[in-house]
Amino acid sequence: MRIVLLGAPGAGKGTQCKRIVAKYGLLHLSSGDILRQERVAGTELGKKAQSYMDSGALVPDEVIVGMMAGAINKASEAGFVLDGFPRTVHQAAELDRLLKASDEKKIDVVLNLQIDEQMVAQRMTGRRSCPQCGAVYHIENLKPKVEGICDNDGTELIQRPDDSIEVVMNRLKTYRRQTEPVVDYYKNKNGSTVYDIDANKDADEVSALVFEKLDALWL
Ligand code: ADP
Ligand code: AMP
β-strands 127-129, 136-138 pairing: antiparallel
The whole-angstrom separation of Cα 49 and Cα 16 is 25
Is residue 87 part of the annotated active site? The answer reads yes
Is residue 171 part of the annotated active site? The answer reads yes
Is residue 160 part of the annotated active site? The answer reads yes
Q: How far is the CA of 11 from the centre of ligand 1 (A)?
A: 6
Q: For residue range 86-100, what is the model confidence (pLDDT) as tens digits?
A: 999 999 999 999 999
Amino acid at 130: C
Amino acid at 181: P
| Number of helices and strands in the chain (H, E) | 9, 7
Q: How far is the CA of 80 from the centre of ligand 1 (A)?
A: 20
Summarize the confidence of residues 108-125 as an average pLDDT: 96
Q: How far is the CA of 182 from the centre of ligand 1 (A)?
A: 21
Question: Which ligand has the nearest atom to the CA of 82?
Answer: 2
Which residue is catalytic, options 2, 36, 123, 127? 127
Whether residue 167 has its Cβ less than 6 Å from ligand 2: no
Which residue is catalytic, options 2, 18, 87, 123? 87
Every domain of the chain and the residues it spans: 2-116+178-218
Amino acid at 170: N
pLDDT at 105 (0 to 100):
82
Whether residue 171 has its Cβ less than 6 Å from ligand 1: no
Q: Is the pTM of this model over 0.75?
A: yes
Is residue 2 part of the annotated active site? The answer reads no
With beta carbons less than 8 A apart as the criterion, state whether 204 and 17 touch: no
Q: For residue range 41-94, what is the model confidence (pLDDT) as tens digits?
A: 999 999 999 999 999 999 999 999 999 999 998 887 889 999 999 999 999 999
DSSP 202: -
Question: Which ligand has the nearest atom to the CA of 14?
Answer: 1
Is the bond preceding residue 181 a cis peptide, omega within 30 degrees? no
Which residue is catalytic, options 13, 18, 36, 123? 13
pLDDT at 219 (0 to 100):
59
Summarize the confidence of residues 186-191 as an average pLDDT: 90
Is residue 97 part of the annotated active site? The answer reads no
CATH number of 2-116+178-218: 3.40.50.300
